[in-house]
Amino acid sequence: MEIVIEKAADSELKAKPDGSALGFGKIFTDHMFVMPYSVEKGWYDATIKRYQNFSLDPSAMALHYGQAIFEGLKAYRGRDNQIRLFRPQANLARMNVSAARMCMAQIDEDTVLRALKQLVQLDQDWVPRAKGSTLYIRPTMIASEAGLGVRPAQEYLFFIILSPVGAYYAEGFNPVKIYVTDKYVRAVPGGVGHVKTAGNYAASIMAAMEAKKEGYTQVLWLDAVERRYIEEVGTMNIFFKINGQIITPPLGGSILPGITRDSVLQITRDWGMDVQERPITIDEVMAANENGALEEIFGTGTAAVISPVGELYYKGRAVTVNGGYTGEVAQRLFDELEAIQYGDKPDPYGWMETLD
Ligand SMILES: Cc1ncc(COP(=O)(O)O)c(C=O)c1O
């Protein structure tokens, strides 16, 4: 499919932000990619154009019944000035899994990858230069058809927007304090927890706010049925190191299959570590901490890559994990992934994609 490029006029280009004040998702680049869909026409008018508002009918179905999915990935500028994307095909494949579950249109992954690369190429000056800063890429699809019937929409809008984001660890690794909730759940068996649909995030906000009020950074989610099995932490997958063994919950339908999770599994197995994907309860983790067997906990996800956990709060009790310090495996994984992402190290997995 042809991708039309309508460059913004020079007079429309925005001033680049100060690299030290980027934050997350507050600033957007000069261009975006937009591609509408209808059942009759399929995807059409694939266009890269100036970043601008949409015009949507107030009855657009995404606004009412939540047929809305998204992805999140990053472009990294290496020391060699080369811009690299981390496993973009995996994000687009996951987007089609999300689309299928939400009864939305399938994207052509090759066309979208081409559009994504052309968009980043066009706005390449927005990819930050400071180590740790990146260009966050947000492919999104919404049901744009006007109407209030509850059924799959016949029209969709796919778009990609770009946002330069600051270093997650500007002041070094900072182990986070985690609140284990047995009051709220993120996802249920048979539900939509394994896909990146907007409603999952809306549903998680109240628990996150309550945790924050208690002084905790993220929520640890337990399973919806027994409220014992660990699922995820905030918007990250979770790993434990207990008695030398690396453990992460299996993908059972209520957990998002993280691309960082998959990468961490591959790397730790290649390092010869004993790695298990198996159900793990909060009681097992608390007991392991009590008897000194719990060595590390860390989250994995695109935003932070690796996020060490220094404290857990569960049922009225706060416990320190690994003395509140970053564990050895978390640090080693962070260093390894960052080196691959910035091109400081060979990429034995073929994960990084250049823009050409
Ligand atoms: C709920 C949830 N779990 C886990 C992840 C981590 O996934 P990834 O490693 O692909 O960023 C994310 C972020 O995308 C998420 O939103």
Helices 259-270 and 328-341 pack at an angle, to 10 degrees, of 110
162: β partners: 137
Q: What is the pLDDT of residue 173?
A: 83
Residues with CB under 6 A from ligand 1: 72, 232, 235-237, 256, 258-261, 300-302
Summarize pLDDT for 196-241 with one digit per residue, the tens.
999 999 999 999 999 999 999 999 999 999 999 999 999 999 999 9
Distance 91 CA to ligand 1 centre (A): 10
What is the spatial distance between Cα 39 and Cα 97, in angstroms, rounded to a whole number?
19
Residue nearest to atom 7 of ligand 1 (CA): 258
Summarize pLDDT for 4-27 with one digit per residue, the tens.
999 999 999 999 988 778 889 999
What is the spatial distance between Cα 190 and Cα 210, in angstroms, rounded to a whole number?
26
Distance 73 CA to ligand 1 centre (A): 10
CB contact at 8 A, 37 and 105: yes
Q: Which mutation among 239, 302, 305 tests ligand 1's pocket best, with the greatest number of atoms within 8 A of CB?
A: 302
Distance 104 CA to ligand 1 centre (A): 20
Summarize pLDDT for 287-311 with one digit per residue, the tens.
999 999 999 999 999 999 999 999 9
Three-state SS annotation for 14-42 = CCCCCHHHCCCCCCCCCEEEEEEEECCCE
Q: Which mutation among 256, 334, 341 tests ligand 1's pocket best, with the greatest number of atoms within 8 A of CB?
A: 256
Q: What is the pLDDT of residue 142?
A: 98
Q: What is the pLDDT of residue 46?
A: 98
Region of residue 355 (phi > 0: left; psi between -120 and 50: alpha; otherwise: beta): alpha
Instruction: Tell me the mean pLDDT in the region 139-161.
Output: 98
User: Is the pTM value of this prediction over 0.85?
Assistant: yes
Residue nearest to atom 4 of ligand 1 (CA): 236
